[in-house]
Every structure is written in C-alpha cells, then in structure tokens.
Structure 1
Amino acid sequence: MLSRRDFLAGATAALGASFSAGNARAANAGSGLNEVARRSGRIFGASVRMDQVSAEPGLANAVASQCGMLTPEIHLKWNSIEYRKGQVWYQPVDALVKHARQNGQTVYGHTLIWEQGTPDWALHHLHHKKDWDFVAAHFERLLKRYHADIPVWDVVNEPIDTQNGSKGLRRNTFQRVFGSGYIEQALHTARHFAPDAKLMLNDYSFEYDNHVEADRRATFLKLLERLKAKGVPLDGVGIQAHLDLGKGPLRHQIIGPFLQAIADMGLEIYITELDVKERDYRATAAIRDQRVADEVARYLDIALDQRAVKGVTTWGLSDKHSWLKVERGDRVDRRRYGNPAPNRGLPYDVSMKPKLMYKALERSLGGGLS
C-alpha cells in the first residue's frame, strides 16, 4: 500500500492541473471535507463567528457542508462572555452550539485561559486579589453549561514564550500571580468540572527549521513531560499550524519527531488553526494559490502520517475573514497591483469560491494511512 508520503508526492504536483476554475465550482458537491476526513478516522473543521455565518449564506452553507467540528473564534473567550463584570453574554455561543447540533457537528472549546482574551477588569482583579477561586468560577460556568455540547477544551492557550518568557513560559497575569503551576492548576480545575471532557494545551510556531521554533518545540515537550510525570489531567495538544511562506521549507525530520514525541506520551493531537501567511503579493492569484496549496499539502503530508493527529481545523474558511494581513517587509508591487488582495491562505476566496487549498485539504485528508 502506498504511504501518505508516496501518495501525496505526486498529488501535490498535480494540484494546479487538476483543479481548474471549471471544476472548482464542484468542490462543494458530494461529501465535503469532513466526510473525506471521516473515512480516515479523523475530523475536519473551521473556526467560525456566528455574526458572519448569520449574515453570509455562502459561508453558512460551507460551514454546514464541509465541517464536522466548529471552533468559536471569539465567542468563548472570557472578554466575549463577560466583557463587563457581571454582564454575562452566552447568546453567540448558544447560537453556535445550536447550529452545530442541527448540522450533526461537534464544538471545540476555545479557550478557558488566554491573557489576550481576558477582560481588563478580570486581570485587574487577579493582580490585586490573587484569587484562584475567581478563575475556577469562570471555568465552572462554562464547563457545566456546555458539558453536553463541547467535548474538547483548550484549557490554556499559548503558554510558551522562549524569547521573553520565564523559564520558557509566557509572562502573563496568570503566571505572575500564580506562578508556573497555574497550568497544572487550570487542568486540575477543568477536570473537576468536566470529568469526561478532553483537556488540551494549544500553542503555535512549531513547524519550521529555525532556532526560535526549535526552542519552542523543546520547551513545549518538556512542559508536557512534566505534566504527565505529575499525573496532571491532560488528554492532548492543539498545534495551531499557522504556516508561513517566509520561513523556509517544511521538513519531515523536524515536524515528524516532534509529533511522535507528543504521541509517545499518549496524547492526542489536533491541528487547530491551520492557515498560510503569504509574503510575496506580487504574483497572480493563480500562482499565489499554488504556493499556498503546496505548503498545506507538504505540512499535512507530514502531520497526517502521525496516527495521533485526530483532526484538522482551519482558522476560518474564507480569505474575507482571515486575520492575516499584509505586513511591513512583505513584497508588494503597488505600481502594478495597487493595494494587494487579502492574504489568500484559506480554502475559499473572498467570494466563497474554493481555491487550490481546498483541493490540497481534500487530497491530504483522503490520503489514508499505510
């Protein structure tokens, strides 16, 4: 039987020829990406915002037809749930959960702890009161309210910072107030209120062959080893996989052993925020789309060889809503093209037409395992 790597080596090169504008219109026809993933025992999903889904029928149709798992992009973050103290707003999450239930989808809980997603008033309270019961109360209301609908949770989001952190951990309010043990405390608290949920840590920049990401990989693995050695309840990890065309080639000898080390600890792996940052906006859309598709195929060729990888989620479906923007240092020819089109690092363009990345996902998710 062909391995995933053998199968995709030829498939990647054929993406451009096989996915013309004519058959792009048919990409949604048939089973959809989640059905393709399901045949290999995995799940495919995307992050969503219900205000966008409600306003855009094309996006809503794609979310319903392509996804088996929905990740609330912002709705579960503390500053969305309770931007002002005492004013709790569940409506967007409730709407997302209802939408998922109606379409036979599951919901990935993102996230319980993230400094940037915590309201200022809560950070101020923690700084002055050093009150873990306050954090636990936030966990309790979310984990109990959605216990039947959200089986997987990012308990702590982005805990690693090897450049400016403290012993590899990000310097944030939780770390400063409770020390490095806050991660253990968060996982124990989550398990107390959600005994059957899968509890995850989620982080980024593990993909490329450079010293910064090498340090991040090593630090993350050491953190996981410490948690497992102490018997801390941890079921898996989220690998964000924000790919970047400016960081050099993806290498199997870098990514493969990293994922294997996680799997060897008995942890599940989810690719949680897949997209691609472009760096050269001077080319035609067709060339840009080919570059993006090639990068996605290369990454998934490696990642999906690992049986511990249970699902793939893209950070959005349409370029229209991508968080990725043109940055200082990116290559742009404004004389020829004016302001460049949005970053083209998601499966659908701004008009909800599937692009080459869609086909790369379809082929990779359907490649099977040897």
Structure 2
Amino acid sequence: MRLLDRRGLLAGLAAGPLLLAAPRPGAQALPNGPSLAAAAARGGRYFGAAARIDQIRAERALRRTVLRDCAWITPEFHMNWDYVAPRSGAWNFRDADGLVAFAGEAGLKVRGHSLIWDQSTPAWAAAEMVERRDWETVARHFQRVMGRWGERVQAWDVVNEPIARDGRGLLPSMFLEAYGPDYVRRAFDEARALQPQARLAVNDYGFDYDNPVEEARRGSFLRLLEDLKAKGAPVDEVGIQAHLDLGKGPLRRRIVAPFLREIGQMGYRIVISELDVRERDFTLPLVERDRRVADEVRAYLEIALAEPAVEGVVTWGLSDRHSWLQDDEAAALGGVNRGLPYDHGLRPKPMYWALRDTLAAA
C-alpha cells in the first residue's frame, strides 16, 4: 500500500466529492449471529482491522463495530516513524498512546505498524542514516517506540514492504543504501532484543495474482525469507497484505496456495494483514459490485485459510467511509470504492458475510 494513498485520507475524507457520491449513512444495524472475531475463533484463528483512534473516538458506531468484530487492532499510521518523530528529537505519541490504551481497556491485542518502512521514514532520519551509516539511528528509534508500550503491543511489523516494486530483489531505499541487504536481519535482531515476547513480522504486498511482476515479487520474497531463516533472524510471522484487485484477473489456487504453503513449510506463521479489494468498474449496479467484491474475498480466503500456517485475517479498515482506497484513482474513475465489509453507514455488505462464512468454515 502506498503511503500517499493512506496519508491522503488524514482529513477523514471530510466534505470531499467522493463522500458526496456515497450512499447516505443510515442507522447502523449490527449483523445478527456471531461476530467476525467469534467466527474466526471457532477455527482457532483471529480477526482484526486497522483503525484510527481519532475516528474511533469521534464515531460511536465505528467504536461499537470495532469492539464487536475485532480481536486485534492495527494503527493505520499513528506508529509510523514520520508520525511519531517528524523532526529529530520531537516525539508525538498522543494518538498511538490513545489506541494502545483503548485496546488495553477493551481487551484487544495490538499489531504495531510499522518500525521500518521507506515511505514512512522522516527526511531527517533518512539523511542521517545515509550520511553517517550508523545503525544507532535505527536502534534509538526502536528503543523509543517499542520501549514505550512494551508488552502492551503484542506483534510488530518490523520491516514493511522490503521487496522492490518490480520484484527484482530488495527495494532500493535509505536502509539498503546505508546498511546493505543485511539491514532486514539487523532490524529483527534489534526488535527481539527489546521485545522477547512479541510476534515479529515482515510484511509485504503484491503476491496474489498471475502476472510477471507478482511472480517476480513472490520469488524475491521467498528468497528473502529463506535467507532470514538461514541467518537465524528472529522472524516469527509473515504478513501477506492481500490488497486484492478486481482488475488483475482471477485468483488462481495454483498461484496462491503453493506460495503460502512454502512460507508455512519454512516454519513461519502467516497473517493476512491488510485485506481489502480495489474495484475497477464503478458503472455497475451496487448489487453487482458488492457481489464481485465478496466473491473475490471468498475465493481468496478459501485458498488462504486452507493453509494451516495462516493464523489470522486483518482488514485494512472496516468501513468504506475510512478506506485508503478512496484515493485519486477511485476519483478519476468517478466512484466510491466498496472494498471493505461495511458501507459508509457501517451497514454490513456481502463482503462481511463472505468473511464470516469463510472464517467460520475454516
């Protein structure tokens, strides 16, 4: 997921043309039957979602939905380096503190996101790393961030999106330039020394479809995981973002299943970490659009949840109202993307039932 898309939503999509085109929110009706968290727990798995504490505080219906459906919560960007330390020595933990406190009070587990990500690295830190080649810049950041919450954050995306966009090895970044390819292993060693009990993950996207770029990305990612395993890096978990895309062709079991199986056979746990669906045709009736989104989610999860190493499913948000997919691309196509389980009024859509059915059946 691109940072500009995420951060473009900082204003909460307030009063924009995308929201004017959206269905008007009505009274929220919570779904009957088990929650998504309960459905997942039946199969020994968990369900969670990314969320922002400012929106949870401002919207009672969102808060109620998070508390009902989630066992885990991921901060969208309030733990990212450029958010917590926009300037050297200037720390801003207010929103992240709020989310961790909310989760603790509600009995939710927290997935920290993210410690190292090229797109959320503040300019001052990038310059310092490249100029000095001193790992202390990273070490101080990890110590300050991980040390603040300790065991109140149960999992961390330690390295986010390390694979090159085109799949040709590691992404050229300030980390690769400053420290070489071993920066990934060093990051995990640093994190483990600070948090021995936390689940430590490498998290990436673009592995889901049958095309040359994603084939290359799958290969490079598997090689990275093999290298980390060979070096004894303390990686517990692999995050597969699963930003599904209706414009990329059908999902194929022969592509997704062996990829996940190979990760599991290396001994890694897997979490589907940022699930949502990008639409491409906003001219279709809403009923047809929602059916296509639900079918894509169902098809993906039926494959993914057949892999025993997959322990959880996390969506990147719950409501279309807050989705990063309401971006420039959606605006150019003249529509409102409906790729999350709840609509703008926090009413469940067919994707919700696809999630619940597949989680319960797994």
TM-score by length of 1: 0.87
Matches within 5 A, 1:68-147: 68-147=71-150
Matches within 5 A, 1:338-357: 339-340=334-335, 342-357=336-351
Q: Tell me the distance in 2 between the aligned counterparts of 1:178 and 1:219.
A: 19
Q: Tell me the distance in 2 between the aligned counterparts of 1:319 and 1:329.
A: 12
Match of 2:11 in 1: none
Q: Tell me the distance in 2 between the aligned counterparts of 1:28 and 1:132.
A: 49
Can you list the C-alpha shifts for 1:15-40, whole angstroms capped at 9, x where unaligned? Answer: xxxxxxxxx97653443100110111
Can you list the C-alpha shifts for 1:49-85, whole angstroms capped at 9, x where unaligned? Answer: 1111111111111111110000000111011111122
Q: Tell me the distance in 2 between the aligned counterparts of 1:184 and 1:226.
A: 9
Can you list the C-alpha shifts for 1:198-249, whole angstroms capped at 9, x where unaligned? Answer: 1110000100011111111111001100110111111110000000000000
Query: Does 1:47 pair with 2:41?
Result: no
Query: Does 1:194 pair with 2:195?
Result: yes
Aligned with residue 362 of structure 1, among 347, 356, 361: 356
Match of 2:234 in 1: 233
Q: Percent identity?
A: 49
Quote how far apart the aligned CAs of 1:324 are.
1.1
| Paired AA for residue 295 in structure 1 | E
Aligned residues of 1:281 and 1:330 also touching (Cα < 8 A) = no
Matches within 5 A, 1:212-291: 212-291=213-292
Q: Tell me the distance in 1 between the aligned counterparts of 2:324 and 2:109.
A: 24
Aligned to 1:147, the other structure's residue is in SS state helix
Q: Tell me the distance in 2 between the aligned counterparts of 1:84 and 1:222.
A: 35
Aligned residues of 2:28 and 2:346 also touching (Cα < 8 A) = no
Quote how far apart the aligned CAs of 1:327 are.
5.7
Change (3 A) 1:108 1:29: same
Q: Tell me the distance in 1 between the aligned counterparts of 2:85 and 2:239.
A: 25
Aligned residues of 1:282 and 1:331 also touching (Cα < 8 A) = no
Aligned to 1:112, the other structure's residue is in SS state strand
Change (3 A) 1:195 1:141: same
Query: Does 1:159 pair with 2:176?
Result: no
Name stretches of at least 5 consecutive residues in structure 2 with no aligned partner: 1-26
Greater displacement, 115-124 / 292-301: 115-124
Aligned residues of 1:162 and 1:168 also touching (Cα < 8 A) = no
Can you list the C-alpha shifts for 1:294-317, whole angstroms capped at 9, x where unaligned? Answer: 000000000000111010000011
Match of 2:9 in 1: none
| Paired AA for residue 104 in structure 2 | R
Aligned residues: 336
Q: Tell me the distance in 2 between the aligned counterparts of 1:101 and 1:29.
A: 26
| Paired AA for residue 362 in structure 1 | R
Quote how far apart the aligned CAs of 1:326 are.
6.2
Q: Tell me the distance in 2 between the aligned counterparts of 1:185 and 1:307.
A: 29
Match of 2:12 in 1: none
Rg (Cα) greater in structure: 1
Quote how far apart the aligned CAs of 1:353 are.
1.0
Can you list the C-alpha shifts for 1:339-367, whole angstroms capped at 9, x where unaligned? Answer: 42x10000111111111100100101101
Match of 1:174 in 2: 175
| Paired AA for residue 55 in structure 2 | Q
Quote how far apart the aligned CAs of 1:162 are.
5.5
Aligned residues of 1:162 and 1:219 also touching (Cα < 8 A) = no
Quote how far apart the aligned CAs of 1:129 are.
1.5
Change (3 A) 1:91 1:329: closer
Q: Tell me the distance in 2 between the aligned counterparts of 1:245 and 1:199.
A: 31
Over aligned residues, Cα RMSD in angstroms?
1.8
Aligned residues of 1:280 and 1:331 also touching (Cα < 8 A) = no
Q: Tell me the distance in 1 between the aligned counterparts of 2:73 and 2:33.
A: 20
Name stretches of at least 5 consecutive residues in structure 1 with no aligned partner: 1-23, 333-338
TM-score by length of 2: 0.89
Aligned with residue 34 of structure 1, among 32, 37, 41: 37
| Paired AA for residue 170 in structure 1 | L
Aligned residues of 2:151 and 2:198 also touching (Cα < 8 A) = no
